[in-house]
Structure 1
């Protein structure tokens, strides 16, 4: 791996795909079709999957499950789940991408890249995250930042005949030496809507953050300390990288961003179990329809809720992989990558997962 170079921060990738022209119009039209009839309703229920499975809805899962079944019944049947592949009996893996698409920017860079392994017997999940500027070099693919592949695949869909989601799932399966079963893509607008529907989240903002960009409408202005953040502010918190304000605020790197993603996910777990979470669930379902893509079967979503409705946040293990920054890439630490690969396999096998967070906790307790 290349040595660390902290003299500057990773620049924002410029090769972005705009919704206003070219291939992106096809992608936008593809999303637009989901506004009609049962197809839209099908994608609306995916928010519940994210809340219940990834975010850990727990306390009001029975309420959610009722609404999911109603929505699925309205949407009708999709393709059946293959025999023996049901999520309530078989461990599964999923690629979760969070893209930077918002109406004011139109881009599709995958700023959040997570691989999730989940096991119905242990009622647990392992979530591995990668920095957005990770140098991705693998046979069959041109070396690039990992967050650039999804928009590139989107641009090539018409020519290749293969969906960008399938291309990402195939690529990441090879990278992690793991058969990834499903892929779900949630954009920034969907993230904001989820947080707002749950009436915001409580987080500890670790530093003052200020950055403004009129080109894409970014206006980040957060103060250090305990905060109750709305959807826009929560997105600013997880996105913040550098400052162009006067006075300048301290910069962040990809590893800070991954840590903040985990902080917000934990905060959403707590908020989802609150009364506000219950009251906001219906609004959240309605808001997500045009902001998500997935290849989950409708029946599999029912299976997932049956298997993971009572998952606790203590059983959701986060493993952010870090590395060294040398412009323009982050070079992953090989030992962390191998440990993450093994943790995903252990989760699927039903073995106890030892995460970096667990190790740090054990080391800290050993001296007491």
Structure 2
């Protein structure tokens, strides 16, 4: 050992000032470079092990950072995969134990009884705080990783990925409303979210739930209703509208889609997919079903949402939407889950088109509230609510790609395609050629000026 390091390894035990200065150095070194304290003042074998672990972690972090800058989808795929999350949890747990051992050994090497008396509690407190911060962060990270793995496994399936079609991913978004007054689930809101696979620009197409004569993409429903849903001899349920298709297929003829359950879906959802494809003319790769009965739990888990109310909207005191408890007045409102759900569903003195606008407001507010910091700080509650609320066939293998794409989407305004009477869409007598032309016009890339000759 060199003379420069002698005061660290072989200090003057009789000088409280030297021992105090040495103690501060050891505490700081243990925090900045775990393992270095043991190399300088304790067991060099333990110190070398600690340093190897420290430099290995630094190397892994640098590699991950470089890969994230160059190929972000690769890193995101690793950390949105159950295997990758469990590996991260194990690594963090190991480091938590290593840092705990090194910190406790550092506290032993400090020899507080030899330091200046008034400095002893400060040194001990700082060491404890740093230990809790570092070890606690690693332990909490391991906990988050295992919780995330469980959440992903409960919501997302393992299956083949789908490529973009015409440069877009199209996702069917269903708000399921399985109320006590209904026979089975009936989608209360139906949208198609179309996302540019390169730019992340998202367009939300709200489909009126009362559309009639709905066409289908090729499949069993198209064979059964060649002129549109219920157009010739009616259908198997009381109202032949778009949102009734789920109920008919799920309860009356699930055999139409025998492979649906094995593929992470349901017959009713597949019927709705064929209908949405027929209406929009788009290929829909995936679906997301949100259970509106559990929707309020997710909003509460996120800490509520902020919504700008354009006109008075009532909160009802019963499930028949007739008794008004109180009104949301125009202006900026912070809503918990109960009130956000009523705001989205309210039917008092309103139309389906008004409800579609409000539902889209709530969806966009949730996206805004679901920022990384907020989700991480409330992760257990969000994951618990999400696993009860969300059902989808998006495979885990696509999560890294979609997470990266979502980071682009959040930077851009979400476009809306309004299928409303003001755009010549009559739900009782719809012209589906007009509907598809409206959608294609909205999804078309912006025109660029021709280069100067």
Q: TM-score, normalised by structure 2?
A: 0.52
Matches within 5 A, 1:314-329: 314-323=412-421
Say whether 1:196 aligns with 2:300.
Answer: yes
Unaligned runs of 5+ in 2: 1-80, 86-143, 216-226, 232-239, 259-266, 448-453
Q: Deviations over 1:21-69 (max 9, x none)?
A: xxxxxxxxxxxxxxxxxxxx99xx9xxxxxxxxxxxxxxxxxxx96797
| Corresponding residue number in structure 1 for 2:158 | 78
Q: Which is worse superposed, 273-282 or 204-213? A: 273-282
C-alpha RMSD of matched pairs (Å): 3.9
Per the alignment, in what secondary structure is the counterpart of residue 412 of structure 2? helix
Q: Given that residues 323 and 330 in structure 1 are in contact (C-alpha distance below 8 angstroms), is that contact kept between their aligned partners in structure 2?
A: no
Instruction: Please report the TM-score for the alignment, with normalisation by the length of structure 1.
Output: 0.63
2:354 matched residue in structure 1: 256
For residue 393 of structure 2, what is the aligned residue in structure 1?
295
Partner of 1:352: 446
Q: Would you tell me which structure has more strand in proportion to its own residues?
A: 1
Partner SS for 1:341: helix
The Cα shift of 1:277 comes to: 4.4
Residues 195 and 260 of structure 1, relative CA distance in 2, 3 Å threshold: same
Flag the 1:269–1:159 CA change in 2: closer, same or farther, 3 A.
Answer: closer
CA positional deviation for 1:148: 1.2
Partner of residue 141, structure 1? 229
- Taking a change above 3 Å as real, the CA distance of residues 212 and 158 of structure 1, as seen in their structure-2 partners, is same
> Which structure has more helix as a fraction of its residues?
2
State the match for 2:197 in structure 1.
Answer: 120
Q: How does 1:41-120 map to 2 (within 5 A)?
A: 70-71=149-150, 78-81=158-161, 85=163, 91-102=168-179, 107-120=184-197
| d(CA) in 1 for partners of 2:148, 2:313 | 44
CA spacing shift, 1:335–1:81, aligned 2, 3 Å: closer
8 A Cα contact 2:279 2:432, kept in partner: no
Q: Distance in 1 between matches of 2:368 and 2:248?
A: 36
The separation in 1 between residues aligned to 2:388 and 2:355, in whole angstroms, is 25
1:278-293 maps to which residues of 2 (within 5 A)? 278-293=376-391
- Deviation of 1:313 (Å): 5.4
Greater Rg by CA: 2
Q: Distance in 1 between matches of 2:147 and 2:214?
A: 40
Distance 1:297 1:103 in 2: 32
Q: Is the 8 A contact 1:111 1:147 kept in 2?
A: yes
Q: Counterparts of 1:140 and 1:266 in 2: how far apart (Å)? A: 32
Change (3 A) 1:123 1:213: same
Tell me the secondary structure at the aligned position of residue 300 of structure 1: helix
C-alpha distance in 2 between matches for 1:77 and 1:156: 27
Whether the 8 Å contact between 1:117 and 1:126 is mirrored in structure 2 is: yes
* Greater RCO structure (CA 8 Å; 6+ sep): 1
Q: Secondary structure at the match of 1:287?
A: helix
Q: For residues 167-316 of structure 1, what are the structure 2 equivalents within 5 Å?
A: 167-205=271-309, 206-213=311-318, 221-225=326-330, 226-242=332-348, 251-273=349-371, 276-312=374-410, 314-316=412-414
Deviation at 1:103, TM superposition (A): 7.1
Please give the secondary structure, in 2, of the residue aligned with 1:135: coil
